[in-house]
Structure 1
Amino acid sequence: MTSRHKNKTFATLLATLFGGIGLHRFYLHGLGDRWGWLHLSSLAVSGFVTGQWFEQPLLLTAAPLVLSAIAGFVTALVLGLTPDDKWDQAHNPDSGKQSRSSGWLALVLVLTTGLGAISVIAVLARTLDLLFTGGAYG
């Protein structure tokens, strides 16, 4: 029995763009994936907390979603840098096809590194602003 072939570039792109809500987990492991549901629940929890304490800084009330998004960037790098043979062993054992990474994967990895670095720097800057100035700069 052959299963559907899972594309490494597409999984990496999903983790980069939608890692905060776990779409890459559902693509790779199906709807029964607990970690995917945990990522998705961070959206609901952040929305609820932000609605309840809207006067608090958004970084604090949306912290579950922010952490989930940063975890998505790290996961995207791990997925994209996995060698093709190990990728096929883990995600395509019965697909009948072999993965072949291309230049598109390299482009997605560069995008992931840039967006991830910008996100981490922004979170650090805002956290330090809140800690030392009480949010005077934003």
Structure 2
Amino acid sequence: MKNKTLATWLTFVAGPLGLHRFYLHGLADWLGWLLPIPTALGFYGIERARLYGLDDQLSWLLIPCLGFTFAACALRAILYGLTPCERWNARYNPQAAADAPAGRTHWLAVIAMAMAMTIGTGALMASIAFSSQRFFEYQIEEARKISQPQQ
């Protein structure tokens, strides 16, 4: 029996590692194996920014991978939590009755959805702001290089 509350929490807490996919679909799920890649790239971007500063172009391209992955997993946690009991059981517990307790939404799932909405929105907005700021700063620097007379 796949529990909706557990799946919601796994998606919110460990979604960027793909653990929720393994819980729901098993170890053969290819998307579960791919999810850690953008997460690792984002952490690598943070490490590059720490080592080389925020002027490192590769870091400002990689850091949003982490933020967008967190935001996508938070959205998936919200979708899992909002799935009706009958639909959840039909998809993940086909052998159980339509109103089986594993598919019911409990307060813990509601708390996970609220936290996912808050933190996911923050991660998404921070990723967009960081990417946009770094992109426009880069464009300004390139425009300055072009506009200055060469000596």
TM-score per shorter chain, which class?
Answer: 0.7 to 0.9
Summarize the Cα distance change of 1:32–1:76 in structure 2 as closer, same or farther, 3 Å threshold.
Answer: same
SS class of match (1:31): coil
Give the residue type in structure 2 aligned to 1:76. Answer: A
1:116 paired residue among 105, 109, 120: 120
Distance 2:105 2:28 in 1: 28
Give the residue type in structure 1 aligned to 2:32. Answer: G
Equivalent position of 2:31 in the other structure: 35
Runs of 4+ in structure 1 over 4 Å off: 44-54
Which structure: greater helix fraction?
Answer: 2
Shift of residue 63 of structure 1? 3.9
Distance 1:16 1:115 in 2: 9
Give the residue type in structure 1 aligned to 2:21. Answer: R
Which consecutive residues of structure 1, in runs of 5 or more, have no partner in the other structure? Answer: none
Q: Normalised by the size of structure 1, how large is the TM-score?
A: 0.78
Superposition CA RMSD, Å: 2.5
Distance 2:110 2:64 in 1: 30
Can you list the C-alpha shifts for 1:64-106, whole angstroms capped at 9, x where unaligned?
Answer: 3333222211111111111011000000112564432211111
Summarize the Cα distance change of 1:124–1:95 in structure 2 as closer, same or farther, 3 Å threshold.
Answer: same
Between 1:33-42 and 1:88-97, the stretch displaced more is 88-97
Between 1:24-33 and 1:12-21, the stretch displaced more is 12-21
Give the residue type in structure 1 aligned to 2:110. Answer: A
Pair 1:6-2:2 in alignment: yes
Between 1:8-17 and 1:42-51, the stretch displaced more is 42-51
Summarize the Cα distance change of 1:44–1:95 in structure 2 as closer, same or farther, 3 Å threshold.
Answer: same
Q: Which has the larger radius of gyration?
A: 2
Percent of residue pairs bearing the same amino acid type = 30
